[in-house]
């Protein structure tokens, strides 16, 4: 995902591990969660809110979903309070390649500036 962000002209800034979210674990204890990144967009072009995101391998999502769920709920609430979005995505090669292809297809119909 980070590779795609570098080529997206709508992105104004990318911040890795930008913040820590406090939450309660399934055991009731106080915990913290640090998402992978925060994407800010050029608002005049896209009108997209910032996106806080987490990237994991699909197998990790399946295996540890009970651990991730409270973290992701806390991050989603944090984003909702700020008018942002929270996104989880997989790091699997097939997912990466499909996103990469989709990204470059948007440029295939644009005229070349000379």
- Structural domain contains residue 114: no
Mean pLDDT by 10 residues, the chain (114 residues): 70 93 93 96 78 91 93 98 93 63 63 62
Please count the structural domains in the chain: 1
- Structural domain contains residue 88: yes
- Structural domain contains residue 50: yes
- Structural domain contains residue 9: yes
> Whole domain around residue 10: which residue ranges?
2-108
- Structural domain contains residue 64: yes
Query: What pLDDT sits at residue 103?
Result: 62
pTM equals 0.75
- Structural domain contains residue 113: no
Query: What pLDDT sits at residue 22?
Result: 98
Query: What pLDDT sits at residue 4?
Result: 65
- Structural domain contains residue 93: yes
- Structural domain contains residue 79: yes
Spatial CB neighbours of 75, under 8 Å, sequence gap ≥ 6: 21, 33, 35, 52, 54, 86
């Amino acid at each position: 995902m980070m590779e795609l962000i570098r080529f997206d002209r709508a992105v104004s800034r990318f911040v890795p591990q930008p913040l820590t979210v406090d939450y309660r674990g399934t055991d009731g204890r106080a915990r913290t969660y640090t998402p992978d990144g925060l994407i800010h967009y050029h608002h005049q072009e896209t009108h997209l809110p910032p996106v806080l995101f987490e990237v994991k391998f699909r197998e990790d999502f399946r295996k540890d979903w009970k651990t991730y769920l409270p973290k992701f709920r806390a991050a989603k609430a944090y984003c909702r309070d700020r008018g942002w979005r929270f996104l989880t995505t997989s790091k699997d090669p097939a997912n990466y390649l499909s996103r990469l292809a989709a990204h470059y297809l948007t440029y295939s119909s644009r005229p070349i500036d000379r």
